[in-house]
Amino acid sequence: AASQFQLTPFAAVVPHKNTPIRTWTEYHLSCHDAPSRFVYILSKGNRSRPYILPEDLAPLVQDVVETHPGLAFLKEAAEFHSRYVHTVIARIFYSVNRSWSGRITVSELRRSNLLQVIQLLEEEEDINQIMAYFSYEHFYVIYCKFWELDRDHDLLIDQNDLARHNDHALSLRMIERIFSGCVTRGGMKNRNMGPNGPRITYTDFVWFLLSEEDKSNPTAIEYWFRCMDLDGEVHSGISVETTTQRIQSTVHQFPNSQIHRDEFHQIVATCGFPVYWRAPLFNCTQHTPSGCVDGYKFVDFWKQ
Protein backbone atom coordinates (compact mmCIF):
# COMPACT_ATOMS: atom_id res chain seq x y z
CA ALA A 1 0.00 0.00 0.00
CA ALA A 2 1.16 3.49 -0.77
CA SER A 3 2.35 5.57 2.15
CA GLN A 4 -0.21 8.05 3.49
CA PHE A 5 2.42 10.73 3.97
CA GLN A 6 5.74 11.72 2.46
CA LEU A 7 8.83 11.98 4.64
CA THR A 8 10.42 15.41 4.50
CA PRO A 9 14.20 15.78 4.74
CA PHE A 10 15.09 16.88 8.27
CA ALA A 11 17.03 19.93 7.12
CA ALA A 12 13.94 21.24 5.41
CA VAL A 13 11.91 21.40 8.62
CA VAL A 14 14.52 22.91 10.94
CA PRO A 15 13.23 26.39 11.85
CA HIS A 16 15.16 29.62 11.73
CA LYS A 17 18.18 29.57 14.02
CA ASN A 18 16.78 32.21 16.38
CA THR A 19 13.43 30.56 17.07
CA PRO A 20 12.64 28.67 20.29
CA ILE A 21 11.80 25.58 18.24
CA ARG A 22 15.27 25.63 16.70
CA THR A 23 16.84 25.89 20.15
CA TRP A 24 14.70 23.01 21.43
CA THR A 25 15.62 20.89 18.40
CA GLU A 26 19.35 21.51 18.88
CA TYR A 27 18.93 20.76 22.58
CA HIS A 28 17.62 17.28 21.86
CA LEU A 29 20.15 16.61 19.11
CA SER A 30 23.24 17.61 21.07
CA CYS A 31 22.38 16.78 24.69
CA HIS A 32 22.12 13.14 25.66
CA ASP A 33 22.14 13.20 29.45
CA ALA A 34 21.09 15.50 32.29
CA PRO A 35 24.52 17.16 32.81
CA SER A 36 24.90 18.10 29.14
CA ARG A 37 21.31 19.40 29.06
CA PHE A 38 21.90 21.45 32.20
CA VAL A 39 25.03 23.07 30.75
CA TYR A 40 23.29 23.71 27.43
CA ILE A 41 20.37 25.44 29.13
CA LEU A 42 22.47 27.55 31.51
CA SER A 43 24.76 28.64 28.68
CA LYS A 44 21.61 29.67 26.77
CA GLY A 45 22.24 27.18 24.00
CA ASN A 46 25.71 28.46 23.21
CA ARG A 47 27.29 25.31 21.80
CA SER A 48 30.68 27.02 21.58
CA ARG A 49 30.67 27.38 25.38
CA PRO A 50 30.26 23.88 26.87
CA TYR A 51 30.68 25.03 30.45
CA ILE A 52 28.97 26.99 33.22
CA LEU A 53 30.20 30.32 34.56
CA PRO A 54 29.32 31.57 38.06
CA GLU A 55 26.89 34.15 36.71
CA ASP A 56 25.00 31.42 34.84
CA LEU A 57 23.88 29.96 38.16
CA ALA A 58 22.57 33.24 39.59
CA PRO A 59 19.03 33.02 38.10
CA LEU A 60 18.65 29.45 39.36
CA VAL A 61 19.72 30.28 42.91
CA GLN A 62 17.66 33.49 42.93
CA ASP A 63 14.63 31.41 41.95
CA VAL A 64 15.31 29.16 44.94
CA VAL A 65 15.45 32.24 47.19
CA GLU A 66 12.12 33.52 45.89
CA THR A 67 10.14 30.29 45.76
CA HIS A 68 11.51 27.64 48.12
CA PRO A 69 9.29 27.29 51.20
CA GLY A 70 12.33 26.90 53.43
CA LEU A 71 13.45 30.42 52.50
CA ALA A 72 10.08 32.16 52.74
CA PHE A 73 11.36 34.25 55.66
CA LEU A 74 13.94 35.83 53.32
CA LYS A 75 11.35 37.53 51.14
CA GLU A 76 11.32 40.59 53.38
CA ALA A 77 15.11 40.64 53.78
CA ALA A 78 16.15 41.55 50.27
CA GLU A 79 19.59 42.68 51.44
CA PHE A 80 20.46 39.05 52.17
CA HIS A 81 19.39 37.74 48.77
CA SER A 82 22.58 38.52 46.89
CA ARG A 83 24.75 37.34 49.80
CA TYR A 84 22.97 33.99 49.87
CA VAL A 85 23.17 33.67 46.08
CA HIS A 86 26.91 34.41 46.03
CA THR A 87 27.53 31.98 48.88
CA VAL A 88 25.67 29.12 47.20
CA ILE A 89 27.47 29.71 43.90
CA ALA A 90 30.84 29.85 45.65
CA ARG A 91 30.09 26.57 47.44
CA ILE A 92 29.03 24.93 44.18
CA PHE A 93 32.21 25.95 42.38
CA TYR A 94 34.31 24.95 45.39
CA SER A 95 32.99 21.39 45.24
CA VAL A 96 32.29 20.86 41.55
CA ASN A 97 34.96 22.88 39.71
CA ARG A 98 37.87 20.64 40.64
CA SER A 99 40.01 22.10 37.86
CA TRP A 100 39.96 25.55 39.53
CA SER A 101 39.25 27.04 36.11
CA GLY A 102 36.19 29.07 37.07
CA ARG A 103 34.22 27.02 34.54
CA ILE A 104 32.16 23.94 35.37
CA THR A 105 32.37 21.52 32.47
CA VAL A 106 29.97 18.72 31.60
CA SER A 107 32.54 16.19 32.82
CA GLU A 108 32.88 17.91 36.19
CA LEU A 109 29.12 18.09 36.50
CA ARG A 110 28.81 14.37 35.81
CA ARG A 111 31.24 13.61 38.61
CA SER A 112 29.38 15.79 41.12
CA ASN A 113 26.12 15.53 43.05
CA LEU A 114 24.89 19.00 42.04
CA LEU A 115 21.96 17.89 39.90
CA GLN A 116 20.81 15.44 42.55
CA VAL A 117 20.90 18.20 45.15
CA ILE A 118 18.91 20.53 42.89
CA GLN A 119 16.33 17.77 42.48
CA LEU A 120 16.21 17.40 46.26
CA LEU A 121 15.19 21.06 46.57
CA GLU A 122 11.88 20.12 45.00
CA GLU A 123 11.27 17.37 47.52
CA GLU A 124 12.64 18.78 50.80
CA GLU A 125 10.89 21.77 52.35
CA ASP A 126 13.48 22.31 55.08
CA ILE A 127 16.35 24.03 53.28
CA ASN A 128 18.70 23.29 56.17
CA GLN A 129 18.32 19.57 55.60
CA ILE A 130 20.04 20.05 52.26
CA MET A 131 23.54 20.22 53.65
CA ALA A 132 25.29 20.56 50.29
CA TYR A 133 25.36 24.07 48.83
CA PHE A 134 21.93 25.45 49.81
CA SER A 135 21.72 25.29 53.61
CA TYR A 136 20.73 28.69 55.01
CA GLU A 137 22.33 27.90 58.35
CA HIS A 138 25.65 27.24 56.65
CA PHE A 139 25.33 30.47 54.69
CA TYR A 140 24.57 32.42 57.86
CA VAL A 141 27.64 31.10 59.67
CA ILE A 142 29.90 31.88 56.71
CA TYR A 143 28.52 35.36 56.20
CA CYS A 144 28.63 36.27 59.89
CA LYS A 145 32.29 35.26 60.10
CA PHE A 146 33.06 37.43 57.09
CA TRP A 147 31.01 40.34 58.48
CA GLU A 148 33.01 40.26 61.71
CA LEU A 149 36.28 40.56 59.79
CA ASP A 150 35.09 43.09 57.21
CA ARG A 151 35.18 46.15 59.44
CA ASP A 152 34.24 48.69 56.76
CA HIS A 153 31.69 46.30 55.19
CA ASP A 154 32.84 46.84 51.62
CA LEU A 155 32.88 43.05 51.02
CA LEU A 156 36.68 43.08 50.81
CA ILE A 157 39.13 42.10 53.53
CA ASP A 158 42.88 42.61 53.76
CA GLN A 159 45.61 40.70 55.56
CA ASN A 160 45.05 42.56 58.82
CA ASP A 161 41.37 41.63 58.72
CA LEU A 162 42.03 37.94 58.06
CA ALA A 163 44.66 37.86 60.81
CA ARG A 164 41.85 38.31 63.34
CA HIS A 165 40.14 35.12 62.17
CA ASN A 166 39.78 32.46 64.86
CA ASP A 167 41.71 34.47 67.47
CA HIS A 168 44.76 35.00 65.27
CA ALA A 169 45.19 31.27 64.63
CA LEU A 170 46.78 31.77 61.20
CA SER A 171 50.47 32.53 60.87
CA LEU A 172 51.45 35.71 59.07
CA ARG A 173 53.32 33.65 56.49
CA MET A 174 50.21 31.62 55.67
CA ILE A 175 48.12 34.78 55.42
CA GLU A 176 50.65 36.21 52.96
CA ARG A 177 50.34 33.05 50.86
CA ILE A 178 46.54 33.26 50.82
CA PHE A 179 46.78 36.84 49.56
CA SER A 180 49.54 36.03 47.07
CA GLY A 181 47.05 34.78 44.49
CA CYS A 182 48.00 31.11 44.73
CA VAL A 183 44.51 30.08 45.88
CA THR A 184 42.38 32.70 44.16
CA ARG A 185 41.20 32.44 40.56
CA GLY A 186 43.13 34.80 38.34
CA GLY A 187 46.09 34.92 40.72
CA MET A 188 47.31 38.44 41.33
CA LYS A 189 45.68 39.72 38.17
CA ASN A 190 43.08 42.37 38.91
CA ARG A 191 43.71 42.03 42.66
CA ASN A 192 41.74 44.49 44.76
CA MET A 193 44.40 46.74 46.23
CA GLY A 194 43.72 48.73 49.36
CA PRO A 195 45.71 50.99 51.67
CA ASN A 196 47.07 47.91 53.47
CA GLY A 197 47.87 45.89 50.36
CA PRO A 198 45.91 43.27 48.43
CA ARG A 199 42.39 42.33 49.46
CA ILE A 200 40.28 39.26 48.83
CA THR A 201 36.60 39.10 47.95
CA TYR A 202 33.74 37.45 49.77
CA THR A 203 33.90 34.51 47.34
CA ASP A 204 37.61 34.08 48.11
CA PHE A 205 36.76 34.05 51.81
CA VAL A 206 34.10 31.36 51.30
CA TRP A 207 36.76 29.13 49.71
CA PHE A 208 39.14 29.88 52.58
CA LEU A 209 36.59 29.12 55.27
CA LEU A 210 35.41 25.89 53.62
CA SER A 211 39.03 24.78 53.39
CA GLU A 212 39.61 25.75 57.01
CA GLU A 213 36.56 23.91 58.34
CA ASP A 214 37.03 20.60 56.50
CA LYS A 215 40.65 19.94 55.64
CA SER A 216 39.83 16.43 54.40
CA ASN A 217 37.88 17.79 51.43
CA PRO A 218 39.79 17.28 48.14
CA THR A 219 39.56 20.98 47.32
CA ALA A 220 40.78 21.87 50.82
CA ILE A 221 43.76 19.56 50.42
CA GLU A 222 44.70 21.29 47.19
CA TYR A 223 44.01 24.71 48.74
CA TRP A 224 46.50 24.23 51.56
CA PHE A 225 48.99 22.45 49.31
CA ARG A 226 48.99 25.48 47.02
CA CYS A 227 49.64 27.69 50.02
CA MET A 228 52.63 25.60 51.05
CA ASP A 229 53.94 25.05 47.52
CA LEU A 230 56.31 28.01 47.30
CA ASP A 231 58.03 27.17 44.00
CA GLY A 232 55.49 25.29 41.91
CA GLU A 233 56.65 21.79 42.77
CA VAL A 234 55.29 18.95 40.68
CA HIS A 235 56.78 15.71 42.00
CA SER A 236 58.03 14.89 45.49
CA GLY A 237 59.85 18.13 46.11
CA ILE A 238 61.33 18.41 42.59
CA SER A 239 60.59 21.84 41.15
CA VAL A 240 59.58 22.55 37.57
CA GLU A 241 62.90 24.26 36.94
CA THR A 242 64.88 21.28 38.24
CA THR A 243 62.86 18.83 36.15
CA THR A 244 63.35 20.99 33.05
CA GLN A 245 67.11 21.01 33.59
CA ARG A 246 67.12 17.23 33.91
CA ILE A 247 65.13 16.84 30.70
CA GLN A 248 67.57 19.13 28.89
CA SER A 249 70.50 17.04 30.16
CA THR A 250 68.81 13.86 28.93
CA VAL A 251 68.04 15.42 25.55
CA HIS A 252 71.71 16.33 25.06
CA GLN A 253 72.62 12.64 25.28
CA PHE A 254 70.93 11.91 21.94
CA PRO A 255 72.63 12.64 18.59
CA ASN A 256 71.42 16.03 17.35
CA SER A 257 68.84 15.88 20.17
CA GLN A 258 66.69 13.60 18.00
CA ILE A 259 64.82 11.06 20.13
CA HIS A 260 63.40 7.92 18.54
CA ARG A 261 60.20 6.36 19.84
CA ASP A 262 62.08 3.31 21.16
CA GLU A 263 64.31 5.59 23.24
CA PHE A 264 61.63 7.94 24.48
CA HIS A 265 61.13 6.00 27.72
CA GLN A 266 64.21 7.80 29.04
CA ILE A 267 62.46 11.16 28.64
CA VAL A 268 59.31 9.79 30.26
CA ALA A 269 61.29 8.62 33.28
CA THR A 270 63.01 11.99 33.58
CA CYS A 271 59.61 13.70 33.57
CA GLY A 272 58.57 11.47 36.45
CA PHE A 273 55.65 9.91 34.59
CA PRO A 274 54.55 6.24 34.42
CA VAL A 275 56.08 4.33 31.52
CA TYR A 276 52.79 3.99 29.64
CA TRP A 277 52.45 7.72 29.33
CA ARG A 278 55.14 7.23 26.70
CA ALA A 279 52.99 7.11 23.55
CA PRO A 280 50.76 10.14 24.28
CA LEU A 281 53.77 12.12 25.50
CA PHE A 282 55.72 11.19 22.37
CA ASN A 283 52.82 12.42 20.23
CA CYS A 284 52.64 15.78 22.00
CA THR A 285 55.50 17.17 19.91
CA GLN A 286 55.71 17.41 16.13
CA HIS A 287 57.86 14.65 14.68
CA THR A 288 60.79 15.09 12.30
CA PRO A 289 60.70 13.45 8.82
CA SER A 290 62.63 10.53 10.32
CA GLY A 291 59.88 9.95 12.88
CA CYS A 292 61.83 11.29 15.83
CA VAL A 293 60.99 13.96 18.36
CA ASP A 294 63.14 17.08 18.39
CA GLY A 295 64.38 17.26 21.96
CA TYR A 296 64.49 21.05 22.01
CA LYS A 297 60.88 21.28 20.88
CA PHE A 298 59.91 18.83 23.59
CA VAL A 299 61.63 21.00 26.19
CA ASP A 300 59.63 23.98 24.91
CA PHE A 301 56.46 21.89 25.21
CA TRP A 302 57.39 20.91 28.77
CA LYS A 303 57.95 24.51 29.80
CA GLN A 304 54.52 25.46 28.49
**pLDDT computed for residue 140 by the predictor:** 94
Question: Could you tell me which residues are beta bridge partners of residue 238?
Answer: 235
Helix (H) or strand (E) holding 192: strand 192-194
Contact 176, 169 (CB under 8 A): no
Domains of the chain in sequence order: 24-137 (1.10.238.220), 150-228 (1.10.238.10), 240-303 (1.10.238.230)
pTM above 0.75, yes or no: no
**pLDDT computed for residue 239 by the predictor:** 53
**pLDDT computed for residue 193 by the predictor:** 74
Helices (H), 171-287: 172-178, 202-213, 218-228, 240-251, 265-271, 278-282
**pLDDT computed for residue 252 by the predictor:** 85
Q: What are phi and psi of 55, to 5 degrees?
A: -65, -20
Amino acid at 251: V
Mean pLDDT for each 10-residue chunk of the chain (304 residues)?
A: 39 46 56 84 80 93 93 85 94 93 91 94 92 93 94 90 92 90 65 76 95 92 86 50 80 86 84 81 80 85 76
**pLDDT computed for residue 254 by the predictor:** 86
Strand residues in 106-162 grouped as ranges (E): 156-158
**pLDDT computed for residue 235 by the predictor:** 43
**pLDDT computed for residue 19 by the predictor:** 54
Contact 12, 2 (CB under 8 A): no
Helices (H), 68-154: 81-96, 106-110, 114-123, 136-149
Strand 192-194 versus strand 197-201 pairing type: antiparallel
- Percentage helix, strand, coil, to 5, in the chain? 55, 10, 35
